[in-house]
Amino acid sequence: MKILILGGTRFLGYHLVKAALARNHEITLFNRGTHPSPSENVETIHGDRNRDLDKLQGRRWDAVIDTCGFVPRAVTASAQLLSHSIDRYVFISSLSAYADLSANGVNENAPLATLTTEQLEQANAIDSSGQGSGSAYGKMYGGLKALCEQAAEEVLPGRVLTIRPGLIVGPKDYTDRFTYWVVRVARGGEVLAPGRPQRFLQFIDVRDLAEWTVRMIERQESGVYNANGLDSVVTMERLLEECKDVSESDATFTWASEDFLLEENVTAWSAMPLWLPEEAAPHLKGFMFMSIDKAVNAGLSFRPLDDTIRDTLGWYKRERADSELEAGIDEDKERALLHLWHQANDGT
């Protein structure tokens, strides 16, 4: 098959290229060229999707994978231009597209987030400046992803495959939310850990997501699918213990309460990755318990957790060892927090 990828050089895009090439597909990338190509065996067309879509005219692909659509106007433009050039439009959305994540078991039929007209105008203004990214849109992110999904379907009814991933982890993850724990535990010593050890996590290895997405394209599937790891399987304690086993470190874990972390202004999800306060963030209670039954029934499968940890650590050592992590707390702050916790709880 001939597959066009909008983006295709970072994290999920990188692994989509690798997965597609491994299955002997012909890949074309369309991006601004700000990051290296994942392979020499791909064609790259350099351009900005806000200004240079005409560079794709006159070509034919079996499918396009849109990894970087953030505002509906841009998705509408790419879908319209490619409408006669592709059979399938694959849009990478997000579980954040749902309106309500407070309950467990949210499936593909749940209501989606919405935006006001003013918010949409603001998002379009950001995107037009050439600085658009998921983080730039903040609280608008979920609503924008929902509108992008609708934009693609309006242009190409019945020809859109929408995939809503949750937390994506593994090699090449530039957010470092999962990587922080892999690296921190490998360093050893006393590790500050958040909340209840038995709190469940839900995430997906980027390679599992990429390989399944390519198989779905091969089968010419359409519709909407949540794509995440199995829920109620991996706890925070299990993750940290497996990180310790894989790295053969001497790490020990001190579990600080959520009240303590909040009182000390430890920011959930960024300073303390993978932590969503159970009492302070009830609106996100279901984010780690999303229903993925539809995707599993469509062939989504998962590699062992220790493989994800081992490969993430190996990638970090090869390519990132000299750079600061984008998530997590630094050693000095962690040491200070541990001291405060022990003072309050055991007098040491």
Q: Quick one: pLDDT band at residue 133, thresholds 50, 70, 90?
A: very low
Cβ–Cβ contacts within 10 Å for residue 310, how many?
A: 17
Task: Delineate the domains of the chain, giving CATH numbers in brackets.
Answer: 1-165 (3.40.50.720), 173-202+230-289+305-348 (3.90.25)
Between CA 269 and CA 249 the distance in angstroms is 24
The model carries a pTM of: 0.95
Rounded to an integer, the average pLDDT of 164-181 is 97
Q: Residue 181 pLDDT more than 80?
A: yes
Cβ–Cβ contacts within 10 Å for residue 35, how many?
A: 14
Rounded to an integer, the average pLDDT of 190-219 is 98
Q: What tokens does 326 get?
A: 């984008």
Amino acid at 274: L
Q: Residue 140 pLDDT more than 50?
A: yes
Rounded to an integer, the average pLDDT of 180-209 is 98
Write out the DSSP string of 224-246: EEEE-PPTTSEEHHHHHHHHHHH
Q: What count of Cα atoms within 13 Å lies in the side-chain half-sphere of residue 175?
A: 18
Q: Residue 147 pLDDT more than 80?
A: yes
Q: Which residue has the tokens 């601004």?
A: 32
Q: Quick one: pLDDT band at residue 305, thresholds 50, 70, 90?
A: very high
Average pLDDT of every residue of the chain: 94
Query: What residues does 203 pair with on adjacent strands?
Result: 167
Q: Which residue has the tokens 């990051």?
A: 35
Rounded to an integer, the average pLDDT of 130-154 is 79
Q: What's the pLDDT at 137?
A: 65
Residue 231 CB contacts under 8 Å (≥ 6 apart), including other chains? 104, 200, 202, 288, 289, 290, 291, 292
What percentage of the chain carries pLDDT values higher than 90? 87
H/E run at residue 189? none
pLDDT digits (tens, 9 = 90+) for 237-274: 999 999 999 999 999 999 999 999 999 999 999 999 99
Q: What count of Cα atoms within 13 Å lies in the side-chain half-sphere of residue 133?
A: 4
Q: Residue 306 pLDDT more than 60?
A: yes
Rounded to an integer, the average pLDDT of 61-79 is 96
Bridging pattern class, strands 200-201 and 234-235:
antiparallel
Q: Residue 197 pLDDT more than 50?
A: yes
